[in-house]
Amino acid sequence: MYQEAYHHEPLEKYSFLITGGAGFIGSNLVAYLLKHNAKKVRVLDNLSTGFKHNIEEFESHPNFEFILGDIRDVETCKTAVSEMDFVLHQAALGSVPRSFNDPISTNAVNISGFLNMLVASRDAGVKRMVYAASSSTYGDSKALPKQEDIIGNPLSPYAITKYVNELYADNISKHFDFHSVGLRYFNVFGPKQNVKGAYAAVIPLFFNAGIHNTKVTINGDGNQTRDFTFVENVVQANIKSLFAEITKHEVFNVAVGDRISVNDLWNNIKEITQSTTEASYGESRIGDVRDSLADISKAKKLLQYNPKYTVRDGLSITYDFFKKQSETNDK
């Protein structure tokens, strides 16, 4: 992965802070930046949902630094952004179900933590902060495909927090000339995604079931659709957002611009893993949208974003990762 360069400026000149860098998307960003010779890559993570094993391969790299810390602490944020040129803010408490179970922590991390990092970045003279927004912001809007300027009412505490991020970023852009970029991720998947725990995402759960021929449960009837997006597409969008010619706060959809039902997703993974497991069906999850499909024309135009990987491409790469991980764990 990451053989192709998505940047046009030499990364050797710049230092990057990745919050949540021990997590799924964050650790993939670390991999890209170090592979392409970034001057400095600093990770800030409290390891509440991230894992040291996601970044252990980088620990001996001379351009890598890890800070164990929490974005809810203002001074930690100030220290982390010191002498950084760019911030890639991935730290958050994800998961719609988690946000219903623990809205207080979700709010503290996703809103207060975000604002701490946004203000610290502005005050430190960071060139740009690119942050993880979410397709959950579209809420109950039935419009398809999803366009950045048409949103509905949020369906979960998590969705509320991610929309508030956008409001804060936009307000600071207007009043302080600090222009950040929000990337509305659509169902990201790929290597280093967590397969364990109560809030694991659907694709790692499906792969785990397929590889081990264990029970798999689909929420609802399985006909709900998603615009699943391979993680390297997301890394591309982040890197291009850092250097794009943008003069105000912007948000962009980051997806493939295609959708697949959860049933078809399972059938694809079942075929790839050669599983004989049949899916069972459970209750729909509270706060989930029925259908999701992104309009990515804005990102294509302003970022020159061009997703390289289809869902099937990404599933094949992801299978190789989980298969290898499973074999290692079984030893």
What local confidence, expressed as pLDDT, does residue 199 receive? 57
Scanning the chain, the segments in alpha helix (DSSP H) are 24-35, 74-81, 96-101, 103-107, 114-123, 157-176, 202-212, 231-243, 262-273, 297-303, 311-330
SS (H, E, C) 174-211: HHHCCCCEEEEECCEECCCCCCCCCCCCHHHHHHHHHH
Q: Which residues pair with 88 in a beta bridge?
A: 18, 130
Q: What is the mean pLDDT of residues 17-27?
A: 98
What local confidence, expressed as pLDDT, does residue 195 receive? 83
Residue 125 tokens, joined:
């003279």
User: In whole angstroms, what separates CA 12 from the centre of its chain?
Assistant: 25
Residue in this structure with the two tokens 């369906």, named with its chain if needed: 155
pTM for this model (two decimals): 0.94
Residue 139 tokens, joined:
């809420």
pLDDT tens per residue, range 64-79 = 999 999 999 999 999 9
Distance between CA atoms of 118 and 46, rounded to whole angstroms? 18
Residue of 171, 162, 166, 129 whose CA lies nearest to 149? 166
194 band by pLDDT with thresholds 50, 70 and 90: confident
Residue of 61, 66, 82 whose CA lies nearest to 19? 66
DSSP class of 294: B
Q: Which helix (H) or strand (E) holds 280?
A: strand 280-282
What local confidence, expressed as pLDDT, does residue 197 receive? 65
pLDDT tens per residue, range 164-187 = 999 999 999 999 989 999 999 999
Which of 158, 163, 309, 319 is the catalytic position? 158
Q: What is the mean pLDDT of residues 138-162?
A: 94
Q: Exposure pattern of 138-177 as b/e (b: 16+ CB <10 Å)?
A: bbeeeeebbbbeebeebbbbbbbbbbbbbebbbebbeeee
Q: What is the mean pLDDT of residues 151-160?
A: 94
158 given a catalytic annotation: yes
Pairing of strands 225-226, 260-261: antiparallel
Distances (CA, A) of 72 to 75, 101, 291: 9, 20, 33
Q: Does domain 11-189+229-255+293-308 have CATH number 3.90.226.10?
A: no
Q: What is the mean pLDDT of residues 288-316?
A: 95
Q: What is the mean pLDDT of residues 20-42?
A: 98
pLDDT at 105 over 60: yes
Taking phi over 0 as left and psi of -120 to 50 as alpha, with beta for the rest, 177 belongs to left
In the chain, domain spans: 11-189+229-255+293-308
Average pLDDT, the chain: 94
